[in-house]
Structure 1
Amino acid sequence: MTSTPPHQSILDKPSVLDLFAGPGGLDVAGHKLGVPSLGIEWDRSACLTRYAAGLDTLHADVSAVRRESFESLPPEINVLAGGPPCQTYSVAGHGAGRKALEEVKDFIKRLMAGCPDKEIDEELKKLSDPRTALVLEPLRYAIQATRSPNRGHRPYDVIVLEQVPAVVEVWRHYAKALRDTGLPDGTTYEVDFGVLATETYGVPQTRSRAVLIARRKGLGEPTLPEKTHRAYEAREWNRRSSGISARTQATFDEVFAQELPSQPSKDGEPEHWLSMRDVLAERVGTHPGRKRPFLVRSNYGSSGNPGRRGVRTDQQPAATVTGRISRFVVFEHLDDHTDVVCEGPRFSMNEAGMLQSFPPDYPWSGTAQAQQVGNAVPPLFGAHLLSAALGLPAPRPEAMREPWVPATEERRAKLRSHGCGTADDCTARCPRPE
C-alpha cells in the first residue's frame, strides 16, 4: 500500500470530534489548519474558556454522550480525536492505571470481539479507579460509529490520540486491535504510534506525549509527524544549574552570565528548539514582553525525568507546564543598571498559555485556569498531529503567535445555548460538578 502523497489531504472535508477536549488545544490546532471541530468537555470552567474562544462545545460527560445521545452528533464528523484524563496513568499519580493495564488490555479484546456494552460497563465498575476506564472511550466511540444509523454505520476515517508517556502500552494494544483484529464490523486501520517530545515540534517546553495516529485501511499508511526542531539536550547546563536556589547573589549572577552554546541549523536539519525567551521576550497583543533575563525555579519535574527539575533560565525551554505553573518562582534583574536580582512577577495565565503554544490573549476563563493550561494539548503539537494524520502541510509556528480574537458576547451566548442548554448558564443536562 502506498502512502498518501505529502500535502494532499486524505479527506475532502475533515471534521473532528474531540473527546475530553479541555480548554481547546486540539480545537485551536484545527482552527489554524482550517479543520472544524466539536469538543466534548466535562469541566465547567474549561467550557467557559472554550465559549470565550468561540469553539463549538458540548458541556457533557464523554461516556454519557456515547450511551445516551450519540445519534445527536453531527454525522459528517469523520475524525475522532482525544486525550483521556491521565491521572491514573501519570508517573505523578498513584499508578492505578498501570496496575490495571492487564485488565485494560483484556477490555480492548472484549470490545473488539463485540462484547455488549452493558456487560462491559458492569465489569468496569470493579476497577479501583473509575478514571482508568476512560482510556477505553475512544475505542468505544469508534465502535459506536459503526452501529450508528445517523452515520449510516460509517466508521471514522481517522483516529488521533495523545496521552502521557505511560499510556504508550495502551496505545500499543489499541494499534494491534485496530490493525490486526479490526472493529466488530470488520473495519481495520493502518496505525503508527510512539512517544514524542513537544519541543521537537516548536513548543517552548519539554513535554513528552504518547500518541497514536490511525487511518482506515485504504486511506494510506500514516506516519508520526516529522520533527521540525531538535530535542532539548542540555545535561551539562542542568548540572551547572540544578543546585541553584535563592541563597547567594553571586550564584544568580553567574547563571545569568552563562549563555547556552549557539547551535545553528544546517541545511536539511531541524531547527534549534525554542526557549522561553523566544516566545515571551517581545510584546505581542496584551502581553507586555519580558525584556529582562530571568530564572524559573520549579519543584516539579518534566516528563518523569529528574534531570529536568530545578532551575531553568529564559534561554531554555520551560519545564513541563502543569497545573502548578502559577507556583513557579521567577527571578530577574531589578533593572538594567545593577546586578541586583529579585523575585519578579510569576507567569500570568497568558504567558503560561504561550509556553504551551496557545496564541497570545487566549481567553482563559472560569476557575482553576492554571490547571486548564497544564491539562491542555499544546496547540502547535496538536496541529502537527492533525497535519500528519490528514496529510496536510505542517503548520506554521508563526500562526500560533498571532493574538487570538475572543468570541463576541452574541457568539458566546449561542455556543453556550448549544453546549449547555441556555445562553447564560448550565442546565440539568450539564454534568454535576461532583
Structure 2
Amino acid sequence: MTSAAPHQPILDKPFVLDLFAGPGGLDVAGYALDIPSLGIEWDRSACLTRYAAGLDTLHADVSAVRRDAFESLPPEINVLAGGPPCQTYSVAGHGAGRKALEEVKRYIRQLTKGDSDKEIDEALTALSDPRTAMVLEPLRYAIQATRSLNRENRPYDVIVLEQVPAVEALWEHYAEVLEGTGLPDGTKYKVVVDVLDTETYGVAQTRSRAVLIARREGLGEPSLPAPTHRAYEAREWNRRSAQTTPGVHQPTLDGDEATPMPENRQEQEKGDDLKPWRSMGDVLAEPVGTTHRGRETPFLVRSNYGSSGVPGRRGVRSDRQPATTVTGRISRFVVFQHLNEDIVYEGARFSTNESGMLQSFPPDYPWSGTAQAQQVGNAVPPLFGAHLLSAALGLPAPDPDVMRKPWLPATEEQRAKLRSHGCGAADTCTDKCPRPKDQVTAPSSARPRKKKASTEK
C-alpha cells in the first residue's frame, strides 16, 4: 500500500537509532531530511568512513549495546531503523537463514511473549550460523525500550527495517506479532511490509529490498513510499530497443552486434507521471563535486557474478541502463569504453566514489579504511532510505538532487570528537571496541566443498 494522501509529519522531533549502520546509508538519508541519527556499527573501516563523514557513531556490537549499554543511549530516540546482516539470507550466501526461517519465527513469538533474554540467548546458540539471530535484534531493541528506566519505559514510535527479499517472510511475521499480540508491555503497531525496487525511487541500480514500516498505534496508518520513477524491465528494454530506428548500435564484448538502443529511452511510456528510471550514464557522465570529473560515455559493464562460474554468461549492461545490484564485488566489474562504432577496449573500473554514486551516495563521500567496495555494497542506498524515512514519518518525498550535492567531510577536530565518543579515544580503537577476531563468520560446514579426486596411487 502506497500513499497519495497529503503529507502530515507524525513526530515533532524525529531522532533515528540506526542498527547495523554500515558506512552511513540511512544516516545520510536522515541528514538529507534534517533528521539526527546515531548509528551502531561493528566494522572498524565502516566506522572510519562514518567518522570522516561526520556521522555520530558507536563502534560496537549491536547485541552488546542492547545487553550492556542500552541505558546510555539518548532517551529522545523515537525511531528505530536498520538492516540486519543479510549474508545468511541472501541468495548469494550459504542460505543458513533461509533454512532457519521457521525457527527464527518461533523466537519472535517467544520474545513477544516476554521470555527472558537469558532463555532466548541460550536457545539461539543452536542456530547453525550465529548471524542469523541478528535479524531478531530490532525486535529485541523495541522490547528493551519499553523496559528502559532512562526512557521511562517509552516505546519507539516508528520502526523502519530493510533486508534482502528472502527476509520478507520474517517481516510479515514481525507485522503479525506487532499488530496482534504486540510487545510484552502491550504496545502495538500498525505495519506494512513489501518488496520494493530501488530504481523506482531514483537509484541508478536494480536492487530489491524487503521493507517494513511500523507506526505505534495512535500515530496513523503507515504506508509505503510511492514510487517516483518507472521500473526497469530487462525484457521490455530489449523488445523496445529492437523496435527503434535502425542505426543506433552498440558492439557487444564478443564482437557481435547488440540490439539497437533507443535514442529516447522509455519514450513509449505514456499515461503516468513517473520519471524515467535513472541510468549509470545519468549518474556518472556529468562532472559532480570536486573529485568526480565525469565518465566518458558510452560504456558497457560486465558484472562479476550471476554467471555460475562461466564468464560468458556474466551480465552486460550499457551506460543507458541502471547498474545491476551493487555488491561488494562492484570493484571487479569490468568497464568497456568505445573506441569507435565496432571496437571496445577495457577502461578504468569503477572507483569507490563512482560505486557510491551508483548507490546514490553523494559525490566526494569520504570513504575510508579498507574493503571500501564491500562497504559500498553493504550500504542502504541513501536515496532509497530517504524515501523510507519520509514515508514512515509522513514527510514529502525527498528531492533526488539533494544526494548529488558534494558531501562536506568532518574536520580533524570533529572527527576526533566523534571517534572519542564512538571508540573511546580520539585517534584509535580501545578495549570497548569489537575485536576483528571476534567477528562472526559463516561456519565452513555451511557449504561443503567437493573433494578433488586423488591422483595418488
Partner of 2:374 in structure 1?
371
Correspondence 1:160-175 to 2 at 5 A:
160-175=160-175
After TM superposition, give the deviation of residue 237 of structure 1 in Å: 4.7
For the residue of structure 2 that corresponds to 1:174, the secondary structure is helix
Pair 1:238–1:41, CA change in 2 (3 A): farther
Could you tell me the percent identity over the aligned residues?
77
Aligned to 1:305: none
Which of 278, 285, 295 matches 1:281? 285
Question: Are the aligned partners of 2:253 and 2:344 in contact in 1 as well (CA < 8 Å)?
Answer: no
Name the residue aligned to 2:336.
331
Instruction: Give me the whole-angstrom Cα distance separating, in 1, the residues matched to 2:6 and 2:30.
Output: 18
Matches within 5 A, 1:8-407: 8-235=8-235, 237=237, 246-248=253-255, 251=256, 254-255=257-258, 258-259=261-262, 262-264=265-267, 266=270, 268-285=272-289, 286-301=291-306, 310-334=315-339, 339-407=342-410
Contact 2:4/2:226, CA 8 A, preserved across alignment: no
CA RMSD of aligned residues (A): 2.0
* Contact 1:25/1:376 (8 A) holds in 2: yes
- Structure 1 residues 5, 228: closer, same or farther in 2, change over 3 A? closer
TM-score for the superposition, normalised by structure 2 = 0.88
Instruction: Give, as a single letter, the amino acid of the residue that structure 2 aligns with 1:384.
Output: H
3-state SS of paired residue (2:142)? helix
Matched AA of 1:140: R
Q: CA distance change for structure 1 residues 258 and 245 in 2, over 3 Å: closer, same or farther?
A: closer
Secondary structure, in 3 states, of the residue corresponding to 1:181?
Answer: coil
Unpaired segments ≥5 residues, structure 2: 243-250, 308-312, 438-457
The 1:90/1:260 distance shift into structure 2, 3 A limit, reads farther
**1:333 Cα shift?**
1.7
Q: 1:236 to 1:153 in 2, by over 3 A?
A: closer
CA distance in 2, matches of 1:309, 1:57: 38
Q: Which amino acid aligns with 2:145?
A: A
Q: Structure 1 residues 340 and 309, CA, compared in 2 at 3 Å: closer, same or farther? A: closer
Aligned residue for 2:81, secondary structure, equals strand
- The C-alpha deviation readout for 1:48-89, integer Å capped at 9, x for no partner, is 000000000000000000000000000000000010000110
* Greater mean deviation of Cα atoms: 255-264 or 229-238: 255-264
* Structure 1 residue 94 displacement after superposition: 1.2
Q: Distance in 2 between matches of 1:59 and 1:238?
A: 46
Following superposition, the deviation at residue 247 of structure 1 comes to 2.9
**Structure 1 stretch displaced more, 135-144 or 403-412:** 403-412
Q: Structure 2: how far apart are the matches of 1:131 and 1:392?
A: 34
Which residue identity is paired with 2:299? F
- Are positions 1:413 and 2:420 aligned together? no
Q: Equivalent residue of 2:436, what SS?
A: coil
Indicate how the Cα distance of structure 1 residues 394 and 309 shifts in structure 2: closer, same or farther if over 3 A, else same.
Answer: farther
Asked if the contact 2:78/2:158 (under 8 Å) is kept, the reply is yes
Measure the CA separation in 2 of the matches of 1:106 and 1:234: 39
Q: Counterpart of 1:71 in structure 2: which amino acid?
A: E
> Alignment partner of 1:312: what SS?
strand
Residues 282, 290 of structure 1: 8 Å contact kept: yes
Aligned to 2:451: none
Paired AA for residue 384 in structure 2:
F
Distance 2:298 2:396 in 1: 35
Pairs aligned (count) = 419
CA distance in 1, matches of 2:210, 2:138: 15
- In the alignment, the residues of structure 2 paired with residue 34 and residue 236 of structure 1 have an alpha-carbon distance, to the nearest angstrom, of 38
1:80-125 CA distance string (max 9 Å, x none): 0010000110011111101111110100000000000000000001
CA distance in 2, matches of 1:136, 1:235: 37
**Partners of 1:271 and 1:114 in 2: CA distance:** 47
* Distance in 2 of aligned mates of 1:119 and 1:4: 44
Residue 312 of structure 1, CA deviation: 0.1
Aligned counterparts of 1:388 and 1:12: Cα–Cα separation in 2: 15
SS in 2 for 1:6: coil
**Contact 1:284 1:360 (8 Å CA) reproduced:** yes
CA separation of 1:260 and 1:162: change in aligned 2, threshold 3 A: farther
Offset, 1:292: 2.4
Displacement after TM superposition at 1:255 (Å): 3.7
Q: Cα offset for 1:301?
A: 3.8
Using the size of structure 1 for normalisation, the TM-score is 0.93
Show CA shifts across 1:223-275 (max 9, x none): 1100001110121556999xx86332xx3xx3496336532465652111000
- The answer to whether the 8 A contact 2:296-2:337 is kept is no
AA at the equivalent of 2:278: L
Equivalent residue letter for 2:324: A
1:294 aligned partner, one-letter code: F
Distance 2:203 2:404 in 1: 11
Seen in structure 2, the aligned counterparts of structure 1 residues 366 and 6 have a Cα distance that, compared at 3 Å, is: same
Distance 1:431 1:31, change over 3 A: same
Query: Retained in 1: the 8 A contact 2:284–2:295?
Result: yes
Distance in 2 between the 1:38 and 1:314 partners?
A: 36
